[in-house]
Structure 1
Amino acid sequence: MVAGRLSLAEREEIGLGLARGESCRRIGARLGRAHTTVSREVERHSFHGHAVAFGRPEMVYRATSAHRSAATAAVRPRRAKLAVRGRLRSLVLRLLRRRWSPQQIAARLRDDFPDRPEMWVSHETIYQAIYLQSRGNLRAELTRQKALRSGRVTRRRRAAEAGAVRSNRPWLGLNISARPAEAADRAVPGHWEGDLVIGKDGASAVATLVERSTRFALLVGLPGGRVSEDVVACLAAAMGTLPRQLRRSLTWDQGSEMARHTDFSLATDCPVYFCDPHSPWQRGSNENTNGLLRQYYPKGVTDFRRITQHQLDTVAAELNSRPRQTLAWKTPAEKLDQLLKVDGATTD
């Protein structure tokens, strides 16, 4: 029994007591309730009967009707938390515009406001505020972009992962199996994964580099196209800005753009290893980053020749400022900065 609320059994006892002509005080004493509780119950849930006593309609109390009425009155619709305009709603909208996922937002709010529960919100609440067509719907204020990174307007089940063709054939004698063990367990920073994201009609591309330990991403423009000599030169220039401690290895697929990989290794002192054929999961962090990049540059419509390096750096900074679950909801930029401070590394 909930304190302060009458149960159906108590209401039935009130009805029987009234039928016997008992006073509210006596009924309350028998139930262990204040007589004012009983009198308010009778006053609220009695109705006019057909019989007339002393020229007035008789007041009738029915336990089941009273209980049903009280249950209905107790259900007070609560306004959705994100439907209320305020700092929390504004912050959630701002992070959605930065293409954070609801789960990232929910986790980071708890981390940033540990002593302010009013600034917490679950990822499910955010999803509902986006999907449900209710007053205060967040999607209405995100009309210039897709509310979620996936672009979906309805929820769907996660698809099962497809199998892939496996192969143990090495390429150019530097198969991924020869990569240092420290790269596989992500314990030591400085091991990178890389790939190309292709533009419209295959006429342009941009290179993506992701550090395996921190998930820190670099986006490298390729104004010279996908010719190996130009790709390697651009990658070497980008990697050359990093401290030596962060240039331990690079893992790539078997694309012809890395045919001049020895030039890259000589310029950066960073060896290149190659994945097995048809094995994108061997560069899982890089594949995930490529998917995130498509939020900014959709497949089949983007001409990367029109995208400047400054624009790519801006997108990379936004990706690196998103909290990641695999980093205990820290951002890649925060993790990289932490590693650089610990190692005392400086840019060459």
Structure 2
Amino acid sequence: MTYNHLIISELSFIQNFWSQGIKAYIAAKALKRSAETIYRVYRFLDTGKTISEYYENYQANKAKSGRKSLVLPNDELEYIKEKVGLGWTPDTIIGRNEKHISCSMHTLYRIFKRSSKLDITSLPMKGKRHPNGYVKRRGKAGRLGRSISDRYKEYPNYHNEFGHRKADTIQGKKHKGVVMTLVERKSKAVIVLNTHHKNDKAIFEKLDKLLSATPRRFFKSITFDNGKEFAKWKYIANKHDISAYFADVGAPNQRALNEQTNGLPRKDGLGKDMDFSDLSNDYVQQVASYRNNIPRKSLNYKTPLEIFMKYITNEQLAFF
């Protein structure tokens, strides 16, 4: 049960009751307060002090009460700074539990907000998200191929199978340069292809080269958006015996993993203010490797690469 502290107007009433000689228990009933609360004020007034002094004394005591701010040991602070520098969030640091931290995840977020020793601007931005069921109204085009509803019919165990990937593209500043992302649903491991151009020819060449060097079971299906750059999907599907599906037009909520994954490389080195025209393949692969080695809450604080390795052999890792 919570306790409401006496406010200044109640204290004035109590002083009036006291000055009139009214018993404390009667005053307590009138104010609907505990008798002991009123007796405490009466005893203070009996010493010759005023109600203003009582209130000032109360305020001073209240300032000393409450939980003191938690101060983390230096070794824990250094560990937190190191992991945040690697792209970890407070949630990941606590959930991964590689080192004991003397607070909860929520407390650690609060420490970031108030402490000068931890830089809150180094944490990932929490972007604005559309509500579930959001339908995009601009730039509508026809669906290029089979709907994702067919995907569940052909792969009834889709949510538990390894090898289903989702494809999308990320553009550089002023549409200069493009990279293509392929995220595996089960492990959330992402492949980033440096396509340079956002057209069906460039996408086809890079994707064909990747699939030609990859064992067939590595890709069971690919789900695309309806961009024109994926117009050659039939050639890819037929040549490499891969099922291809498309989200409904204007429904990004059906590609939530795509949308969320695309924001991560943006944060890791492929920002919106960056020209992708002259990106080196090595740099693009470094960005992908960096992201695949960061623990994820949705993976029980394992890294995408750790989950990925459970499903793939060491020889196949050469193509990742």
Same fold (TM over 0.5): yes
CA separation of 1:73 and 1:160: change in aligned 2, threshold 3 A = closer
Q: Percent identity?
A: 26
Mark the runs of 5 or more structure 1 residues left unpaired by the alignment: 1-63
Listed one character per residue, the Cα deviations across residues 210-251 of structure 1 (whole Å, up to 9, x for unaligned) are 00111110111013x112111111122234444322210100
What's the counterpart of residue 16 of structure 1?
Answer: none
- Pairwise CA distance, 1:266: 3.9
Structure 2 regions of 5+ residues with no counterpart? 1-53
Q: Where does residue 283 of structure 2 map in the other structure? A: 311
What residue in structure 1 maps to residue 193 of structure 2? 220
CA contact (8 A) 1:195 1:286 kept: yes
Matches within 5 A, 1:34-183: 80-82=70-72, 84-86=73-75, 88-109=76-97, 112-113=98-99, 118-119=100-101, 121-132=103-114, 134=115, 136-139=116-119, 146-150=121-125, 160-161=131-132, 163-164=134-135, 171-181=143-153, 182=155
Residues 312 and 165 of structure 1, relative CA distance in 2, 3 Å threshold: closer
Report SS of the residue matched to 1:276.
coil
- Is residue 139 of structure 2 the alignment partner of residue 202 of structure 1? no
Contact 2:96 2:295 in 1 (8 A): yes
Q: Describe the superposition over 1:283-323 as per-residue Cα deviations: whole angstroms up to 9, x where unpaired.
A: 21111111112213222x11112321211111111211122
Q: Classify 1:268/1:275 alpha carbon distance in 2 versus 1 (closer, same or farther; 3 Å).
A: same
Match of 2:305 among 333, 336, 342: 333
Is contact 1:194–1:252 with CA below 8 Å preserved after alignment?
yes
CA distance in 2, matches of 1:131, 1:344: 45
Change (3 A) 1:72 1:281: closer
Rounded to whole Å, the distance in 1 between the matches of 2:255 and 2:156 is 12
The ranges of structure 1 where at least 4 consecutive aligned residues each deviate by more than 4 angstroms after the TM superposition are: 71-79, 157-162, 343-348
Structure with bigger gyration radius: 1
Q: Cα offset for 1:277?
A: 0.3
Shift in Å, 1:200: 1.1
State the one-letter code of the partner of 1:99: G
Partners of 1:283 and 1:322 in 2: how far apart? 22
Q: Does the C-alpha gap of structure 1 residues 280 and 332 become closer, same or farther in structure 2, counting only changes over 3 Å? A: same
Which one has more relative contact order, counting CA pairs under 8 Å at least 6 apart? 2
1:251 corresponds to which letter in structure 2? T
* Structure 2 counterpart of 1:277, from 230, 249, 257: 249
TM-score (norm 2): 0.70
Assess, with a 3 A threshold, how the Cα gap between structure 1 residues 306 and 126 changes in structure 2: closer, same or farther.
farther
Distance of 2:188 and 2:104 partners within structure 1 = 25
Coordinate RMSD, CA, aligned = 3.6
Give the letter aligned to residue 293 of structure 2: S
Q: Is the 8 A contact 2:146 2:245 kept in 1?
A: yes
